[in-house]
A and B are shown apart, each in its own frame.
Chain A
Amino acid sequence: MRSSRWPVVVLAVVTLFALVPFVVMVLVALSPPGAPTLPHALPGSLTLRNFAAVLAAEDFARWTLNTLVYAVVSVAAVLLSASMAAYVFARKRFRGRDLLLWSIVSTLMVPFHAVVVPLLLLVAALGWVDTYWGLVVPTLANAQAVLLLRQFILALPGEVFDAVRVDGAGDWRTYWHVVLPLCRPVLATLGVFVFLWHWNDFLWPLVVTNSTTTRTLTLGLSTMDSGKLGIAELMSAATVTALPCLLVFWLLQRHLAGVISGRGR
């Protein structure tokens, strides 16, 4: 077979376009503070001092903790609530089921910008502005999660459900001992995505938090930018912000690609 080499070359060039910003980010982060660096010049020497400075800054540690809480709590809550609803939507018949599901899915068509002001007023009325509650709870209504889990449960063989019903299991036991274990692969993948969405979220944390104690990393990154920090420290902060996402993705990318492309598994 005559294999040509130019597709590899072109792909390599596009890969460069995709990866160079990360390389620049890390190189600048490793440059001595104040020294000339990319994109103007290559750094003369490399140092970890900027990372140490950024990690030692009290605010930064707090933002990291907040982001972790925001992401991890959301993953647990979204997976639990969405899988419960998805089980019922996939396996139960009741009046108004399709209308209800359709209503939930149709919220996907509403840009978040269109509802952000009333949502904030609602959160204010609940007394949740600048709290973890306000940050986390309004983001838990995740229509993609309900839809994806429902499709997955629909595709499970019906015999499994018949068998457990014959054994006299009720809905709770079926959900806990059958649905959740069978959904483990899709729950894991979905969990990674919910984690990434929340870790990278910006507009909602921007409007609902206003003090250092509740701010998240992306928000901190955007405010640091205008501040008095040097570019090397800023890029260190950016690197630390990106690292969890990159690690999660590089470790799990085999399992994630299928879901991103919409083919399930």
Chain B
Amino acid sequence: MRGKLTTLLFLLPVLVLFGLFRVVPVAGAVGMSLTEHDLGGGWTFTGVANYRDLAGSGTFLTSLRTTLVYVAICVPLTVLVALGTALLLRRVTWARSWFRTALLTPYVTSLVLAGVVWRWLFEPLGVLDHPSLVLPALAVVSVWKGFGYSMLVLFAGLQDVPPDCVDAAKVDGASAWQRLRHVLLPFLRPALFFVVVVETIGAFQVFDTIYVMTGGGPMRASYTLAYAVYDHAFRMFDLGHAAAAGIVLWAVVLLVALTQRRVFERGS
């Protein structure tokens, strides 16, 4: 009996923290998305009305499409740069740890800092004022900030490839591309899956750089889903729609993660 009590005491801080600040808000978010909130502080249950409003709102659908375009630019770019640098890092022995540290440095700074500095770098190019260039520009910042992390995961994955396999392929006359395609990539599959999922989930939630660099503009060209949640909640004080948009973001992230798992499983 005392043992049970001790166990409970050990768990208590974490139970309280997660219960209060994770479980309650999740329940609250679902509840809020089904209600309408008036400025007097009252809540009225409206069922799925908020979702129906979002589905009929051009702004929201645009934000959904904008987010998808951003993810479609950002994720392949990040993973390709990460894979490329990881493969190069494997072939380099000279100053390897120095390269690794340098490439990872952007990862430890904040996205706000990245936004402030890159906005200054982009200024003479004017790309942030151009609706069709703003998402690629934001993606560049995201790749800059994030590829080091994926590079490190992929580099670790490459360390697990038995050197014998690579050597055998070399002896058999396989070209560098064939060795990558048939030897390295199959071994890298779990690491690649992890990296793609993490980068996709991260890209769907892009917010800090948008807040700092574009404020959703120009002409809502960078008005993403996460920014829409913020905009609804803290600029328009439309809490019900903000909560519903947040749930949609959550659902999209879950759906994508599950789909990616399926695709990778079928591939193996």
Complex interface: stretch among A53-61, A180-188, A249-257: A249-257
Say yes or no: is A228 at the interface (Cβ < 8 Å to chain B). no
- The answer to whether B29 touches A18, judged by C-beta atoms less than 8 angstroms apart, is no
| Residue ID in chain B nearest A88 by CB atoms | B10
Known: A117-B233, A122-B28. A18 touches B121 (CB 8 A): no
Contact with A along B216-231 (1 / 0, CB 8 A): 0000000001100110
> Which residues of B lie under 8 Å from residue A112 when comparing CB positions?
205
Cα A10 to Cα B83 with chains together (Å): 13
Main secondary structure of the interface of B (DSSP, over half): helix
Nearest-CB residue, chain B, relative to A259: B152
Q: Which residues of A lie under 8 Å from residue B207 when comparing CB positions?
A: 113, 202-203
Contact A18 B144, beta carbon cutoff 8 Å = yes
Indicate if the CB atoms of A11 and B92 lie closer than 8 Å: yes
The verdict on A84 contacting B144 (CB below 8 Å), with A21-B117, A241-B113 known, is no
Q: Of A17, A118, A235, A262, which one neighbours B153 at CB under 8 angstroms?
A: A262
**A171 (CB) vs chain B CBs: closest residue:** B6
Any B CB within 8 A of the CB of A64: no
Q: Is the CB of A207 within 8 A of B234?
A: yes
Contact A18–B212 (Cβ < 8 Å): no
Tell me if B116 is interfacial: C-beta within 8 Å of chain A.
Answer: yes
Docked-complex contact B108 and A245, CB < 8 angstroms: yes
Contact with B along A1-33 (1 / 0, CB 8 A): 000100110110011011101101100100000
Q: State the Cβ distance, B126 to closest chain A Cβ, in Å.
A: 12
Flag if A39 contacts B113 (CB, 8 Å). Answer: no
With an 8 A cutoff between CB atoms, is A52 at the interface?
A: no
By secondary structure, the A interface counts as: helix
Shortest Cβ distance from residue B171 to the other chain A in the assembled complex, whole angstroms: 15
Cβ distance B22 to chain A, nearest Cβ, rounded Å = 4
Q: Which residues of B contact A17 (CB under 8 A)?
A: 144
Asked if B21 is an interface residue, CB under 8 A from chain A, the answer is: yes
Q: Which residue of A lies closest to B115 (CB)?
A: A222
Known: A109-B253, A121-B28. A21 touches B22 (CB 8 A): no
How near does chain B come to A65, taking the closest CB pair, in angstroms?
Answer: 18
- The answer to whether A113 and B205 touch (CB under 8 A), given A80-B13, A84-B10, is yes
Q: Judging by beta carbons under 8 Å apart, are A122 and B7 in contact?
A: no
Are A107 and B156 in contact (CB-based, < 8 A)?
A: no
- Let me know if A21 and B18 touch, CB within 8 A: no
Interface residues of A in 191-223 (CB under 8 A from B): 196, 199-203, 206-207, 218-219, 221-222
Q: Report the separation of the CA atoms of residues A119 and B23 in the bound assembly, to the nearest whole angstrom.
A: 10
